[in-house]
A and B are shown apart, each in its own frame.
Chain A
Amino acid sequence: GENVEQHPSTLSVQEGDSAVIKCTYSDSASNYFPWYKQELGKRPQLIIDIRSNVGEKKDQRIAVTLNKTAKHFSLHITETQPEDSAVYFCAASKSSGTYKYIFGTGTRLKVLA
């Protein structure tokens, strides 16, 4: 069935370094790819998203890239700060046929001060 693989499951970086999280999706009809940040015990919150007609999107220190041919997309966080420490989830969805919104398994990011 359709799935979204997310790597790595845990990631530790030094404050100020960059962090990259990668997701691969299986359904080539997927056309919307959001990223959510979830702090401990809190709700997931959208931090950035990208649609299939765009290859890259940036918002300050956060960027997402999409490679439709390879069916993968990545989250890039530059100049990491301790408050970036959280679990990050990617997701892939599509608007045609049976609606699906599939989340990756999450990446626990730890930014070391």
Chain B
Amino acid sequence: DSGVTQTPKHLITATGQRVTLRCSPRSGDLSVYWYQQSLDQGLQFLIQYYNGEERAKGNILERFSAQQFPDLHSELNLSSLELGDSALYFCASSVVPGFTDTQYFGPGTRLTVL
């Protein structure tokens, strides 16, 4: 157990809908990262937050947005969902904002868009 929690574990929804994925980082970690992993694919970095502020952006679609709250938990919002958005979404956290420290991954949320 990495100490990073994600909810829900599974999510099934329809095209065009909007969902929110939630992540709580390890105690003491200020930085949160979101990744998308499609079936049998690698990890695509989406976005990073540090202490409530957006720090770095990857290949995140405009239909997706995220935020980090004062208690440091983060939410990833996915809207106008398409079939191709079906994937495992991982959240990771680390202590400091630089990318050169260890990231600890949560168990992931499996999103299925029908």
Write the residues of chain A forming the contact surface with B, with a CB cutoff of 8 angstroms.
31-32, 34, 36, 42-46, 49, 51, 89, 93-95, 98-106
Interface bits B81-98 vs A (CB < 8 Å: 1, else 0): 000000000100000011
B25 interface hit (Cβ, 8 Å): no
- Residues of A close to B102: CB separation below 8 A: 34, 46, 49
B48 interface hit (Cβ, 8 Å): yes
What are some 18 contacts across the A-B interface (CB < 8 A)? A34-B102, A42-B107, A43-B105, A43-B108, A44-B43, A45-B105, A46-B103, A95-B98, A95-B99, A98-B56, A99-B55, A99-B97, A100-B45, A100-B56, A100-B99, A103-B44, A104-B42, A105-B42
Q: Is the interface of A mostly helix, strand, loop or mixed?
A: strand
Cβ 8 A contact of B99, one of A42, A101, A106? A101
Contacts A43-B106, A45-B2; A94 near B100 (Cβ below 8 A): yes
Q: Shortest distance in angstroms between B10's beta carbon and chain A's nearest beta carbon? A: 11
Write the residues of chain B forming the contact surface with A, with a CB cutoff of 8 angstroms.
2, 33, 41-45, 48, 55-56, 90, 97-108
**8 tightest A-B contacts by CB?**
A32-B100, A93-B99, A43-B105, A101-B99, A103-B43, A95-B100, A95-B98, A99-B56
Q: Shortest distance in angstroms between B108's beta carbon and chain A's nearest beta carbon? A: 6
Q: Shortest distance in angstroms between A38's beta carbon and chain B's nearest beta carbon? A: 9
Interface centre among A49, A99, A105 (most CB of B within 10 A): A99
- Distance, CA A94 to CA B99, complexed state (A): 6
